[in-house]
Structure 1
Amino acid sequence: MEADTGAGAEFETLLEYLKEARGFDFTGYKRTSLVRRVRQRMTQVAIEDYADYIDHLQANADEFNALFNTILINVTSFFRDLDAWDYLRAVTVPALVGRRTSQAPIRIWCAGCAAGQEAYTLAMAFVEEMGVEQFRQRVKIYATDVDEQALTQARQALYTGGEVESVPAPLLERYFERHNGHFAFRKDLRRSVIFGRNDLVQDAPISRIDLLTCRNTLMYFNAETQAKILARLHFAIAPHGLLFLGKAEMLLSHGRLFEPVDLKRRVFRKTPAVLAPVGPPVKAHDGQDRRGAVGRLDELREHAFDAGPVAQLVLAEDDVLALANYQARVLFGLTDDDIGRPLRDLEVSYRPVELRAFVEQARLDQRPVQVKDVSWQRRPDATTWFEIHIDPLADTGIGVSVAFHDVTATRQLFDELAHANRQLEMAYEELQSTNEELETTNEELQSTVEELETTNEELQSTNEELETINEELQSTNDELQAMNDMLRDRGVELDEANDFLETVLTSLRSGIVVVDVELRVRAWNRAAEELWGLRAAETTGRHLLNLDIGLPVAELRQALRGALADPGFTEFLHLEAINRRGRSISLRVMCGSLRSHDERVRGAILVMEIQAG
């Protein structure tokens, strides 16, 4: 199925990048739903092209989590599909516990556990059947998922009131504790539930499992990946173990691995491997007593062997070719000259398969050996399939019989049957895919409803916060208005104070310069204007040491540093300068600190007087 019209290869490149960068292998997921969810996330970040989205992932590490949360829809609940859980509690769990001795451990695997609801549902079901002490001593529930965020939530075992609505009231009372408006699963039982990350497609399965739940997880994968996962689950389950699937999942195409216990509730039993009985041919009873009654027995035996429908060789104890019937001679091109030759010197020893190792195994173990699915390309257009039976002759080790059974026709029938099954599976898969798409859409709609409910709660909470902020802003506005009135009154006072200060500075005959801690001019009285020819407007805000006046400001640098460093600093300097008329003058300069009432240095004051010549 094409991933996306015109963008199949680009989409597969994105999947490979996710696999290499973060270890998430989505290549086995159904493309239709997978493309839809990726597109949904790309729309949210306003990106149209898959290549551009890969660049976005490389530049924004947090985007991975947002994408994975979109793809991995962790929709689950306690006792989901109640009818199936009622059957599990009433029939499956008691039968499983009853088959074990009182001390035998019980291993459970909850695959695709999401936020933990299903794992804790299993715990409640087994505690109800066994009691708390037996459960804690004997049961281990391994709960796995690929989503680390979901696993973190599962380990906390903390759920909202809405999330525990499906838990029957008596069970809610026995197994949950209220905690800050939420419901926490009992801590003493939580120790028996072990959460961990496991990718069903890539990671090795947990072994010796008595009950494996994998509900509404397989439906997200394509048929090939489903088959691969089911083979792993079959390996994981112990003999007589059970598999519990979701209502949207079936196993009709995998009957050789599992057989239904209750198809309606999706409970299946592991099918054990059945080995065909093997062994040497049964000896004819009383054969020795009747030999004398048959004439020309050796000649009859020789012709019967030669006329056998199956190509057959007989090797002596030293692996020398002793007998070859007509079918074997024609099939492998053997002649009378080959009788008596060692097997290793004959082409049949390695074609169609390396025989000597199997012959040696049968001779040493004194047990028949079967070699299946042996193909021989005799002609470019024809392949012959064999099943080779190697049987030790008698118990004395006198020789070995090698029979080549031509199973080509059977193989062709199996291939035709497999082809027909594949066509049937494809038709079924299409039907199942439609059903699963509907299930997936339902899951997504349910997820959307939950998201909308969450968003509604967040908006309601935000609205309450905004109302509180609005009240605070109104109160602050009243305070600011009062403060504004106060500042207006103080502004009048400040204007009067500034006028008074200006009058004082103007009245002084000495040049007064006030600078801040950055040596920028803050005050420049009229006497300073007369001395240096610059008005207050031209100097205010400028750095004192950068003024182009006749005052040797560089010689004031050290004194100014002292004034800015020490609140009690005062120093008198005698400087030669040039006034605004270009005449040389001798100045007496007092440099002191400008300090506040709390003795903090706010700048420096320079008082300049011309000394009489």
Structure 2
Amino acid sequence: LKEDLREPKALMKDLLISVTNFFRDQESMEVIGQRIIPEIVKNKREDDAVRVWIAGCATGEEAYSIAMMLNETLSPMPRPLKLQVFASDLDADAVAVAREGFYSEAEVADLTAERLQRFFLREYDGYRIRREIREQILFAEHNIIKDPPFSRLDLITCRNVLIYLNRSAQSRILETIHFALNSGGYLFLGSSESVEVASDFFTTVDKEHHVFQSRPVPTRPVFPVPDISLRPPPTNLFDRQKTFQELKAIERLEYVDLHQRLLEEIAPPSVVINEEYEIVHLSDHAGAYLQITGGEPTNNLLKLIRPELRIDLRTALYQAVQNRQPVETHPLKVQTDDGVRNVRLNIRTVFREGDGTKGFLLVAFAEDGPTRQPFKKPPPETASGVPIAKQLEDELIHSKSQLRATVEQYEVQQEELRASNEELQAMNEELRSAAEELETSKEELQSINEELTTVNQELKIKIEELSQSNNDFTNLMNSTDIGTIFLDRGQRVKLFTPRARDTFNLIPSDINRPLLHITHKFLYEGLESDLDDVTSTLHKVEREVETVDHRWYMMRILPYRTSDDLIDGIVLTVLDITPIKNAATDLETARGEIEIRVDERTSELRTANVALFSEVEERRQSEEVRHRLLAQLVRAQEAERRRLARDLHDQLGQQLTALRLTLETLKGESERREDLGPDIDALLAITEQLDSDIDFLAWELRPLALDDLGLSDALRVYVRRWSEHFNIVGQFHSDGFETERLLPELENHLYRVTQEALNNVAKHSKASQVEVLLEKRGRDAVLIIEDNGVGLSEPPQNYHTMGMTSMRERIALVAGKFDIEFTPGKGTTIFVRVPIEIPKE
């Protein structure tokens, strides 16, 4: 400490305790805001100022709390009073923090939402006191023990400062505070502090919340305490020139002294004591009634008063305090240095609310008679004995009066003791309850201890897992081929991988250095702007950049996001893409060559395509011709069938009818010849069968019902006659074509497909049942033919018979679809779908 001048400052820094928070001791602060501050404002004129001093303000939370309450009281006024708040502390660093007025979210957690919105501004990672509040407070580095105080103050808060000082320092600080306060000003102390060492300067306003009021009594001169150092001692304090505050104090003392001397001339001797009966002031001649005895020095009046007056004085003081009214004793004889005097004790008290002298008592010694007798040893008795009896009678009356007062005092004390006993019993019950709660708390602590043991074990496991994760992360960082640099919000380097050194000239000591202060190998000047863009927009930036050694890297810059989705910096990654870049260049070259070859091949294909298109056109035209020819062939075939059916019906049918009639005639004539009868019957049977077959053949070639009734009725008749002819059960169902007919061409093709399909069933399927369905589905006509025969032995596309080809071509002529489904051994199903309106070619 002696050799290094910095050590005393470091020691002082360690000794200072800057512990505070907003609205500390909420109930006490409410007393200040709701009771004390309105009382201060009530006694102010419009041109007055409210002056407040927060001594020991630490980092400023208490100063701003007082300022908030003052503003809440003053702002509703029509013309708010001027406000001056002084805040001081010995710690310069704490004062600097207080001036900034910036606090974290945890530090403002105790504030209400209304005060937080009214007196604070939200910033990125905390809150800042609004400028108008900060401008009302003057923060200063100040030593309350040695530096001159602020003056003319209405309120001083000095909380949790006195507890760290001895009694002499406490007394000096309280004298300084009393000097700085206006008469009737208020003092606000901490929960463990009081004004016991200076009770004559302050009266108690709220004992529970440690609020005191300055009494209008003179303050002893306050002199600065010199610094403790190795410098030569300062000059005599009484020889130096006095400060303005000291001159004012001395001037005030001189007026008080003048007034005191004038009163001494006409007033009886007197003593002023406080509530503890300690003398705070006495007049010049009051010492005649005091007597200093051996032992420890004291200023208690009951110990200094002469023994003859002690009992009466004690009784009078008790009565004055209990009844709160003046008390005057009967004349008392007292032995003084000048002889025996007759004295009356007059007790005057101050108990008026709002009076700064509340709690003081004035004891006046009023002498009876102007004469004073010199002290003489009284004779043991007189001749008549009358004076002695009179004296004993007076003493007896006086003793009875004292006894009565003592009894009253005893009764009062007994009541107080009874009340105290009840309070002690209640306290005992509370202590017993507290003991039970402590026992419960002990069990809870044991349970908590076990839980903590479990949690500790879990934490050990977590630490091992974190250690393993850290090792994995370290190995990942060292093994990855991606150069990565982690930056904080100030764009300073926090961490980087070894491959980041390929592009940035980084060394281990570059941690916490700004990245822009470190050189790199990129032929790129926009790194700073990219970092700023990512910080402001939070969007990722990707760029391909080239280095001085002609290598290419993919650089990505993106925000660093925490697990809580907060932005806490920037992540910059660089990946060597030189092989990819070279491959891309080679690919581009190859692409150019391929494009040339493709152009050449495209030209060749274009020529071939033209030729192919011509060939396709020729084939299309040939197909159209084939379709037209096929349609003509089908129409010619239908016409020929119609002609054949008509010829068979008209010519051959008539001839067969004539033959049958002739045979019947011969049969009638052959009755005479019995040998010709059977032959003629056989010929008639053959003729009838031939007539039926020719009729069925003509009907198959062209049914008249198709032209007259339509497809639905024609198919119903055909299925019935087919079923009768081949002895196979056949069923026909129709839906949608009861009243509507199709185009003749469509009806003809669908009829022929049905006819061909049923002929195939009769010839090949070995079926016992056939169903034919004709229905209308939207704009299409659907024909379904299903049997329960043996089915097809091969897929339909392998069948190239005349009948199968004819069905497909007929349906293709009307732009329809022809499908066959089969299951070996379970039959075959033919599906035909044709548009109701045949599309034009």
After TM superposition, is the score higher than 0.5? no
TM bin, normalised by shorter chain, reads 0.3 to 0.5
Structure of greater Rg: 2
Higher relative contact order structure (alpha carbons within 8 Å, sequence separation ≥ 6): 1
What TM-score does the superposition give when structure 2 sets the normalisation length?
Answer: 0.29
